[in-house]
């Protein structure tokens, strides 16, 4: 069987929808369950799961720490995820890809500015329509800020994120995930439309984060029957016989 390789984005371990599908309420339980599946896949099939180092590795560690994940989760991250720095100087990406990306980013920035302009005009119009001559200027300004500006700013932020950030590569870790996957001829695991879109552009395989655990379970379900019956089990892990060799790639 051809050994599979995967490169994980942070969202491969932290995606809320994935936890809900698997039936786990807390982030710590969800991460632990996914990492256990990765361990089983590594021991049984030699499947390797990589994370770009230090960008994504550091991001996952910080995310786990901020959300009070226990030390066991950190240990599993360090044990079962292969840390590798992407070779940014040797991986070839065609100039056309960057040309398209620059054009795409410019379009998104222009759309973001359009949303900002609409919000400014709406705020200005609402302010002009307020008639309160009996109030002092300071009181009037506070009322405008409380009743008009606050809501408009909230709507502006949501629209700005949707217009500018959805579907784009907006961080160095995102780019590292794609470069490393291209370098290793691996599939990307993520819950990020920007990574999915540019994985397609780069000819990199993409697996949604919420389907990755089920895919690993399907692999494990088809273990040869003799392996399941004859080999001892420690915890939920199959003990490797001395003759078996684990390839750490």
Measured CA to CA, the distance from residue 157 to residue 154 in angstroms comes to 5
- Among 1-10, 84-93, 97-106, 117-126, the range with the most confident prediction by mean pLDDT is 84-93
Closest by Cα among 43, 73, 69, 49 to 234: 43
Which residue ranges make up each domain of the chain?
A: 5-85+172-238, 95-164
Residue 171 corresponds to which tokens in the numbers above?
């961080």
Task: Judge whether residue 245 has pLDDT over 60.
Answer: no
What CATH number has the domain spanning 5-85+172-238? 3.40.50.1010
Residues 6+ apart with CB under 8 A from 216: 37, 38, 40, 41, 47
Question: 83: part of which helix (H) or strand (E)?
Answer: strand 81-84
pLDDT-based confidence at residue 242 (cuts at 50, 70, 90) = very low
Write down the pLDDT at residue 2: 59
Write down the pLDDT at residue 227: 57
Average pLDDT along the chain: 83
- Count CB atoms within 10 A of the CB of residue 159: 17
pLDDT-based confidence at residue 130 (cuts at 50, 70, 90) = low
| Rounded mean pLDDT, 153-176 | 79
Say if CB 25 and CB 142 are below 8 A apart.
no
pTM (2 d.p.) = 0.71
Closest by Cα among 84, 86, 15 to 48: 84
Write down the pLDDT at residue 139: 60
């Amino acid at each position: 069987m051809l050994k599979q390789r995967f490169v994980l984005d942070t969202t491969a371990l932290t995606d809320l929808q994935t936890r809900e599908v698997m039936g786990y309420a807390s982030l710590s339980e969800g991460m632990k369950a996914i990492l256990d599946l990765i361990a089983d896949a590594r021991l049984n099939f030699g499947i390797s799961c990589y994370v770009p180092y230090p960008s994504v590795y550091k991001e996952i560690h910080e995310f786990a720490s901020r959300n009070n994940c226990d030390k066991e989760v950190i240990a599993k991250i360090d044990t079962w995820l292969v840390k590798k720095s992407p070779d940014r100087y040797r991986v070839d990406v065609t100039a056309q890809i960057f040309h398209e990306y620059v054009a795409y980013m410019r379009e998104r920035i222009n759309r973001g500015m359009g949303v900002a302009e609409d919000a400014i005009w709406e705020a200005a119009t609402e302010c002009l329509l307020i008639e309160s001559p009996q109030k002092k200027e300071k009181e009037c300004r506070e009322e405008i800020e409380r009743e008009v500006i606050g809501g408009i700013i909230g709507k502006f932020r949501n629209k700005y994120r949707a217009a500018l950030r959805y579907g784009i590569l907006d961080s160095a870790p995102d780019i590292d995930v794609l470069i490393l996957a291209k370098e290793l001829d691996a599939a990307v695991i993520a819950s990020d439309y920007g990574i999915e879109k540019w994985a397609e552009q780069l000819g990199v395989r993409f697996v949604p984060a919420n389907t990755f655990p089920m895919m690993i379970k399907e692999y494990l379900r088809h273990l040869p029957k003799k392996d399941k019956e004859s080999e001892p089990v420690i915890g939920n892990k199959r003990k490797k016989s001395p003759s078996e060799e684990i390839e750490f790639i």
